[in-house]
Amino acid sequence: MAAQTTAAHRSFTFLHVAIALQASAVFFQAVTAGLLLSTSHGEALHGAGARVMYGASMLYVLAAILAWRPGGGPARPIAYASGFLVLASVQVVLGIAHVPSLHVPLGVLMFGLSVLALGQALSARRRERPGAR
Q: Which residue in 64, 46, 57, 49 sits closest to 21, CA to CA? A: 57
User: Letter for the amino acid at 14?
Assistant: F
- Tell whether the model's pLDDT for residue 119 goes beyond 80: yes
Number of C-beta neighbours around residue 3 at 10 A: 7
Sign (positive/negative) of CA torsion 120, 81, 86, 96?
positive
Average pLDDT for the chain? 86
Question: pLDDT value at position 6?
Answer: 47
Task: Give phi and psi for 132, each to the nearest 5.
Answer: -75, 150
pTM exceeds 0.75, yes or no: yes
pLDDT per position as a tens digit, 34-79: 998 899 889 999 999 999 999 999 999 999 998 887 667 778 889 9
pLDDT for position 32: 94
